[in-house]
Amino acid sequence: MNNMSDFVIEDSSILTKYVGVEQNVVIPEGITIIDYQAFNPFVRPEFDDIDFDVDNKFTLLSVKLPSTLQIINSNAFEACDCLKEIVVPKSVESIEADAFLDCCSLEKIVILNADCDIDSNGAFEGCPDELIVYSVDTGKEISSVEQYALDNHLRFRPL
């Protein structure tokens, strides 16, 4: 479990920045929004005043999202290039543009809300062609998540 001081939280529910060093992160319950560039390894306080070696940047390997999460904002996980998979809880209503931009190791994303609104401008730009999007079968002809995958030439698999 991460220390609460690893997170910059506004209004008791908006995660604006992860400032810890743990590579396997558990986001605390109560967070409803992951804000713009919250996990971007190139936008970290310790690098504000120095040039840093790209090889020594923060590396996010895994993240567990809270069941209270509703929105993943633009660029929230941008450049998390070691993140291989993520499970998006049923509570998430929206994944914004470029939320996972350049997550070049992302192979699997499980979206438990089949009606999640995923920004049509490309929430997964720069992710590998092998990325598979999984979501629950709603019994509808086609879910929002499946339609997004089809429209953006991503592989889709029902759970």
Q: Render each residue's pLDDT in the chain as its tens digit; 159 residues.
A: 578 899 999 999 999 999 888 889 999 999 999 999 999 887 655 544 444 445 545 688 999 999 999 999 999 999 998 999 999 999 999 999 999 999 999 999 999 999 999 998 889 999 999 999 999 988 878 999 999 999 999 999 999
Question: How far apart are alpha carbons 45 and 42 in whole angstroms?
Answer: 9
Which stretches does DSSP call E strand in the chain?
A: 7-10, 14-18, 24-26, 33-34, 62-64, 71-72, 85-88, 94-95, 108-111, 117-118, 132-135, 155-158
Model confidence, pTM: 0.90
CATH of 4-158 among 3.30.70, 3.30.1560, 3.80.10, 2.60.40: 3.80.10
